[in-house]
């Protein structure tokens, strides 16, 4: 694909990053796999775009006063070392198995989002409104502790290192389901934590020579444009529409990765 084509792909994934609180790696990994790039290299390359998306989205959230640096720091606290562990683990498994595990991960995220509804969080709790400050309490009024946010960061950081995703794929549903965050605050927290977590994973993959720099920078440049646009659009969208679209996107990508792992790769 041409540099311009990669730029537009980065713009699209950055747009989704701003809307869903994701780094875009969940979409870039299947795309890069489609072009025949092994998962380890795809992970390292996608983290460039993930990092750029996180920086751009967090900067806009800062100016909108929806960025809680305390919660983002708590999530990143264990996410940074966990990302390094994930990079090491990614080299221990065959590419085909990693693709299958990634597909299962996408399906698991749909389950966690459905679990959030089954736990009884009212629909109005998902309205796009700022998280109460200054305590890390969700919309339910419950108090949550730093280690609960840090635990989410550890899981998402590990997955970031293994698969090259920013971790928002995990952070957003878990915050909605177990920390009673609003959708907008969960997205903002995730993007903030991703700045540090993605940088950690990128460093690990770069150290192992698993980063395609030119394609990654083209993707990252596009994400710098798309991520702020997505963050701007998010408050204008109906939260039920956003979460439903999120689930459908996860399902489609999961089925695609199952197919790729089943046939042993494309290209």
| Portion of the chain with pLDDT greater than 90, in percent | 18
pLDDT value at residue 263: 67
| 111-120 confidence digits (pLDDT tens) | 866 765 564 4
Q: What's the pLDDT band for 142 if we cut at 50, 70, 90?
A: low
Q: Is the pLDDT of residue 264 over 60?
A: no
Q: Is the pLDDT of residue 64 over 90?
A: no
Q: What's the pLDDT band for 124 if we cut at 50, 70, 90?
A: very low
Judge whether 224 and 56 are in contact, CB under 8 Å: yes
* 185: nearest Cα among 231, 252, 118, 121: 231
pLDDT value at residue 234: 77
Both tokens of 172, joined, read 């957003």
Tell the burial category of 241 from Cβ atoms under 10 Å away from its Cβ (0-12, 13-18, 19+). exposed
CA distance 189 to 97: 31
Q: What number of CA atoms fall less than 13 Å from residue 158's CA on the CB side?
A: 8
Q: Is the pLDDT of residue 78 over 80?
A: yes
- What is the number of domains present in the chain? 1
CA distance 107 to 94: 21
Please, which residues bridge with residue 143 across strands? 137
Q: What is the pTM of this model?
A: 0.73
pLDDT value at residue 149: 92
| 79-92 confidence digits (pLDDT tens) | 999 999 998 888 88
Mean local confidence (pLDDT), 138-155: 76
Which residue would you say has higher pLDDT here, 64 or 150? 150
Mean local confidence (pLDDT), 47-75: 88
Mean pLDDT of the chain: 80
pLDDT value at residue 266: 40
Q: Please state which of the ranges 73-77, 89-93, 260-264 shows the lowest mean pLDDT.
A: 260-264
**Distance, first Cα to last Cα, the chain:** 13
Mean local confidence (pLDDT), 149-161: 89
CA distance 198 to 219: 15
What is the residue range of 138's domain?
3-263
CA distance 169 to 68: 19
């Amino acid at each position: 694909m041409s540099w311009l084509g990669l730029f537009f792909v980065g713009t699209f994934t950055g747009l989704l990053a701003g809307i869903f609180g994701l780094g875009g790696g969940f979409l870039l990994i299947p795309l890069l796999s489609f072009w025949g790039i092994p998962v380890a290299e795809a992970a390292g390359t996608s983290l460039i775009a993930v990092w750029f998306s996180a920086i751009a989205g967090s900067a806009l959230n800062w100016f909108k006063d929806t960025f809680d640096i305390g919660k983002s720091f708590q999530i990143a606290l264990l996410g940074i070392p966990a990302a390094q562990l994930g990079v090491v683990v990614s080299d221990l498994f065959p590419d085909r198995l990693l693709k299958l595990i990634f597909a299962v991960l996408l399906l698991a995220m749909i389950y966690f989002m459905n679990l959030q509804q089954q736990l009884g969080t009212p629909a109005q709790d998902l309205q796009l409104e700022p998280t109460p400050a200054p305590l890390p309490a969700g919309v339910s009024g419950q108090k949550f502790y730093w280690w609960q946010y840090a635990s989410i960061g550890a899981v998402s950081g590990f997955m970031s290192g293994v698969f090259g995703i920013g971790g928002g794929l995990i952070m957003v549903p878990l915050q909605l389901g177990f920390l009673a965050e609003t959708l907008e605050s969960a997205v903002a927290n995730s993007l903030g934590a991703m700045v540090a977590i993605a940088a950690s994973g990128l460093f690990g993959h770069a150290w192992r020579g698993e980063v395609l720099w030119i394609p990654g920078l083209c993707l990252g440049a596009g994400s710098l444009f798309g991520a702020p646009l997505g963050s701007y659009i998010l408050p204008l969208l109906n939260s039920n529409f956003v979460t439903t679209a999120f689930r459908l996107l996860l399902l489609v990508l999961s089925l695609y990765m199952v197919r790729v792992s089943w046939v042993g790769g494309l290209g």
